Amino acid sequence: MQHDAIVIGGSYAGLSAAIHVARARRSVCVIDAGSPRNRFANASHGFFGQDGANPQAMIATAREEVARYPTVQMIAGAAIDARAVADGFEVALAGGGKVTAARLVLAFGISDLLPDVPGLSERWGRSVLHCPYCHGFEHGGGRMGVLWVAPMSVHQAALIADWGSTTLYLNGTALPDTAARAMLDRRGVSIEPAPVRALQGGDGSLSSLLLNDGRTAATDALFLAPRSQLNSPIAERLGCALDDGPFGKIVRTDAARLTTVPGVYAAGDIARVPHNASWAAADGVTAGISLHQSLVFEPLAA
Ligand SMILES: Cc1cc2nc3c(=O)[nH]c(=O)nc-3n(C[C@H](O)[C@H](O)[C@H](O)COP(=O)(O)OP(=O)(O)OC[C@H]3O[C@@H](n4cnc5c(N)ncnc54)[C@H](O)[C@@H]3O)c2cc1C
């Protein structure tokens, strides 16, 4: 069956796109591998009407809502390839088989590339965090650390000082320049140059950082802004232009969330910075409505 749209990735962005296509009484196939970026966190914060909800439960509810529409097909699993064909696009599935549609939405998200510090990855989303707006309040007033991973860590440390007493852990990299040090000083941020050997604390929580010289630094939450990578090479395979973002590659889109390839839309973390679930959902809405209107007003050239 030829669908009007295929959405690759069924989370905040993809399901928000799909529901608008379905509500326009068009057929849409959602392919989802089931690993949203925030799956490591027990609670998602700041989403309209859902502050503190469990991320997996939020997505499951949205999936059920979308699946209720009669023109929706849901496929659990990964899309492994996509290519342009005569009347649209063909997507190959990991489980075998292919689906075709007139339009595509790419919403397959990104993965965080965490630094290799013992004890860090198992605390990701619990006490090791990327975004103070998402999880800073819950640690507010505590002892905050920022782990240097890039020059923008200085900016992150200056910001996070609003949530608690903050130390920038340089983890063995050179001291920031004079202007950056002055800015950190104005914000009351301490600087710790020593490499970090390990993170310590109970199940998911953090109590201290063990430094290479044997000292420990009491810390309640550690923030970092890691590099990231797109979860799938499908955007590149289709010929979509990518840009260099501050954390990794981003799929280039216009205000309608159309990529540089006619008929291919992209939404959510793969196509923007900064990232959060609300922005991803909003981009999905834009992509879904733009896609529907393109079906009406802009048939693709044969
Ligand atoms: C630890 C952590 C905590 C966070 N907490 C918050 C918070 O409290 N509040 C907030 O607003 N934001 C939070 N975020 C940010 C939020 O998770 C992202 O902005 C949001 O998930 C992006 O939505 P998305 O739909 O673009 O991508 P994702 O939610 O990552 O979804 C992408 C989906 O595509 C699927 N997929 C990947 N590849 C394929 C493929 N080839 N075929 C089919 N499907 C595929 C994935 O399995 C996944 O289901 C947090 C992020 C992290 C890392």
Over residues 2-14, the pLDDT tens digits come to 999 999 999 999 9
Q: How far is the CA of 71 from the centre of ligand 1 (A)?
A: 25
Question: pLDDT tens for residues 39-77?
Answer: 999 999 999 999 999 999 999 999 999 999 999 999 999
Q: How far apart are CA 200 and CA 118, in angstroms?
A: 9
Q: Indicate if 192 and 63 belong to the same structural domain.
A: no
Q: Residue 247: what pLDDT?
A: 94
Decide if pLDDT at 301 tops 70: no
Confidence band, pLDDT 50/70/90 cuts, at residue 302: low
Do 69 and 129 reside in the same domain of the chain? no
Domain-embedded: residue 25? yes
Per the domain annotation, does 302 fall within a domain?
Answer: no
| Whether this model's pTM surpasses 0.75 | yes
Final residue belonging to a domain, choices 223, 247, 269 = 223
First-residue to last-residue Cα distance in the chain: 19
CA-nearest residue for atom 53, ligand 1, is 38
Tokens of 145: 């650390």
Question: The domain that contains 279 carries what CATH number?
Answer: 3.50.50.60
**Residue 119 and residue 103 share a domain:** no
Q: Which of 223, 249, 270 is the endpoint of a domain? A: 223
- Residue 251 and residue 207 in one domain: no
175 lies in some domain? yes
Nearest ligand 1 atom to alpha carbon 79: 42
Q: Which atom of ligand 1 is nearest to the CA of 15?
A: 25
In which domain, by residue range, is 156 found? 115-223
264's tokens: 């291919």
Predicted pLDDT at 167: 98
**pLDDT for the residue 275:** 96
188 and 274 together in one domain: no
Pocket residue to mutate for ligand 1, from 40, 81, 231, most atoms within 8 A of Cβ = 231
**Residue 127 sits in the same domain as residue 162:** yes
Q: Is residue 291 part of a domain?
A: yes
Q: Which residues face 241 on adjacent strands?
A: none
Residues with CB under 6 A from ligand 1: 8-14, 31-38, 40-41, 44-47, 78-79, 107-109, 112, 124-125, 130, 134-135, 231-232, 268-269, 275-278, 280
The answer as to whether 157 is a domain residue is: yes
Mark which of 174, 199, 223 sits at the end of a domain.
223
Domain co-membership, 191 together with 261: no
Confidence category of residue 256, pLDDT binned at 50, 70, 90:
very high
Share of the chain above pLDDT 70, in %: 99
Is residue 103 domain-shared with residue 236, that is, in the same domain? yes
Q: Look at residues 37, 23, 34 and name the one whose alpha carbon lies nearest to residue 65.
A: 23
CB 41 within 8 A of CB 54: no
Q: Specify whether 72 is located in the same domain as 163.
A: no
- Same structural domain for residues 69 and 135? no
> b/e per residue, 232-253, with b = 16+ CB within 10 A?
bebbeebebebeebebbbbbeb
Q: Confirm whether 19 is domain-assigned.
A: yes
The percentage of residues in the chain with a pLDDT greater than 90, rounded to a whole number, is 97
Expressed in angstroms and rounded, the spacing between residue 62 Cα and the centre of ligand 1 is: 14
Summary mean pLDDT of the chain:
97
The verdict on residue 233 lying in a domain is yes
Best residue for ligand 1 mutational test, from 8, 15, 32, 38 (most atoms within 8 Å of Cβ): 38
Please check whether residues 43 and 179 belong to one and the same domain.
no
Q: Using pLDDT thresholds of 50, 70 and 90, give the confidence band for residue 1.
A: confident
Asked if residue 146 is part of any domain, the answer here is yes
Whether residue 265 sits in one domain with residue 205 = no
Nearest ligand 1 atom to alpha carbon 110: 30
Q: How many domains does the chain fold into?
A: 2
